[in-house]
Amino acid sequence: MPPYFGAAILGLVVWASLAFVFGHALDVAQAPIGTRYNEWEKQYGLTYQLKGPFGKNTLIVNDPKGMNHVLQGRNYQRNSGDTELIKMCFGHGLFSAEGEEHRMMRKNVSGALSNQAVQEVSHVFFELAERLVRSWEQKLDGNESGIFDITPDIHRLTLDAISMTMFAHDLSGGEIPTILKRITHSPPDGPADVLLKTFASQFPVIMNLPSPMKKWCTELRTSLGAVAKEVWSGHEAAGMHAKLLTTLAKENVPEDITIANIIGVIFAGSETTANVIIESFYELARNQDMQKRIRAELAAFEAANGRRPTYEDLINPVHLPYFDAYTKEVLRTKSVLVTISRTAVRDDVIPLQIPAKSASDFKDVYEIPVKAGTLVEIPIRDGINVSEAIWGPDAAVFDPERWLNPDRLPESVKWVHAQGNMLTFGDGQKVCLGRSFALAEFKAALASLVRVFAFEEVPGVKFDFYHVGGNTVKPMIHGRENEGTQMPLKVTQL
């Protein structure tokens, strides 16, 4: 792209400097994961500024104390451009609300995702995993091994897990997966996408203009609205649960907000969990010793107890310590959240754990003054979760052993107050409500599949990971990015 370009905006051709229009935003959106925020941390420290679109600075806060301040306090809200995009896709509900309205909506939904609720539906996770085992056995068709893309099956697994437990429907066989794929497997943001989000933050009405994304989101809301009405009318399939709809009905939540919450939970509960599960099998394929150790631990448990692990066993780190350590390391290093973005709603001062350098005299500063309207971004995947300043010099290394020996974890990890000392599920007022659900689903799938199948890399296939389909991370084959997201592995039946 030339250093100057013309864009048609509201019928007018506007010529502008590429650097001025996009700042670093386009570069960040299109770069492979692992090539930007972690490299900038090495150059500029934990707290620095990037140029945003149209010359507006973005404050990058990779400092744990600063991050805690932004996420725990009430001086920051979701970026208005992101909020408008959520409203377009989901409707107005839990994921777009702020302040007291958000707290009330969160309270309404929390019962459906409590530890007790997850325990009651956990059998569905194991049943779906066993169904996938049978499907892969049929796919191998009597052969010892085969090479295939695991991503479609894992996405169907997690979609069914959330739909069969939250609103008593098996959605993977209908039109909804196709609509979801259009939305969530869209390519990395291009120049037009970056411009749209930039203008939407200032002029939300832009989101009402016709676009493919708006069309898909309308189709999704219509389809799920029909599902919700079926369940409300008393239809509940055998062996399924309607935890979310039952909870919302008890709270007398209006239909439009209920549908918005359903769509949001589907995105948060299926899309993100699927990507974590996919990357967990990728790491097994890359680390055969880890894979064999997990399989041996599961086999030893079964031999000692005369049964396979249950939900209670999988969530208890004492019963399967290496398995638990492996899942923790996956969650730390494979977060699907690239960043958390917030906008300051009033003037503020952000305190720092580790000093930044003053732009004027390069002196250490432990506080950053912030003006209302400032965009603050907290890097997760390539930031807090893998920062050497927090996790030590081996922060980027995938090593489950760090969780088995408490002395391996530096004291600095305690600076991150979020559960597990990582931001995979966010923190503060908008911390992920479905953490227990996602963990149970992830562990059930991993334990069920690794005992039956072995996973290996495909020779000559290298993966890069990109920020696509919203704020999530997906794999693409290096040099074959035009084929879209995929994760082919060699799968062998044991």
Pick from 163, 199, 156: nearest CA to 178: 156
Annotated binding-site positions:
432
C-alpha–C-alpha distance, residues 119 and 126, integer Å = 12
* SS3 call for 492: strand
Per-residue pLDDT, 18: 66
H-only helix segments in 306-334: 311-315, 321-333
Per-residue pLDDT, 310: 96
Structure letter (DSSP) for residue 341: E
Pick from 339, 337, 325: nearest CA to 280: 325
Name the burial class of residue 319, with classes exposed (0-12), middle (13-18) and buried (19+) by CB atoms within 10 angstroms of its CB: middle
Annotated binding-site positions for heme:
432
Q: What is the largest CA-CA distance in the chain?
A: 73
Per-residue pLDDT, 186: 65
Task: List, in order of start, the domains of the chain with CATH numbers.
Answer: 4-493 (1.10.630.10)
- How many Cα atoms sit within 13 Å of 30 on the Cβ side? 12
C-alpha–C-alpha distance, residues 264 and 113, integer Å = 13
Per-residue pLDDT, 116: 93
Per-residue pLDDT, 152: 92
Q: Hey, what are 322's tokens?
A: 């290496």
Q: Hey, what are 17's tokens?
A: 């400097």
Per-residue pLDDT, 8: 38
Pick from 373, 371, 368, 382: nearest CA to 342: 373
Pick from 217, 214, 245, 216: nearest CA to 231: 245
- How many Cα atoms sit within 13 Å of 11 on the Cβ side? 0
Pick from 451, 423, 443, 419: nearest CA to 119: 443
C-alpha–C-alpha distance, residues 283 and 287, integer Å = 6
Per-residue pLDDT, 185: 65
Contact 100, 408 (CB under 8 A): no
Per-residue pLDDT, 311: 95
What tens digit of pLDDT does each residue of 65-119 get? Answer: 999 999 998 899 998 778 887 888 788 999 999 999 999 999 988 888 999 999 9
Contact 191, 26 (CB under 8 A): yes
Stated length of the chain: 494
Chain-centroid distance of CA 333 in Å reads 12
Name the burial class of residue 485, with classes exposed (0-12), middle (13-18) and buried (19+) by CB atoms within 10 angstroms of its CB: buried
- Report mean pLDDT in 10-residue bins for the chain, 494 residues: 40 50 79 89 91 84 96 89 81 90 90 92 96 96 94 93 86 75 68 69 70 74 73 57 80 82 82 94 98 98 97 95 98 93 95 87 88 94 95 96 90 91 92 93 98 97 86 88 92 97
H or E element, residue 182: helix 176-184
Torsion angle of the four alpha carbons 414, 74, 472, 385, in this order, in degrees rounded to the nearest 10: -10
Strand partners, 17: 4
Per-residue pLDDT, 183: 67
C-alpha–C-alpha distance, residues 125 and 448, integer Å = 10
pTM for this entry: 0.90
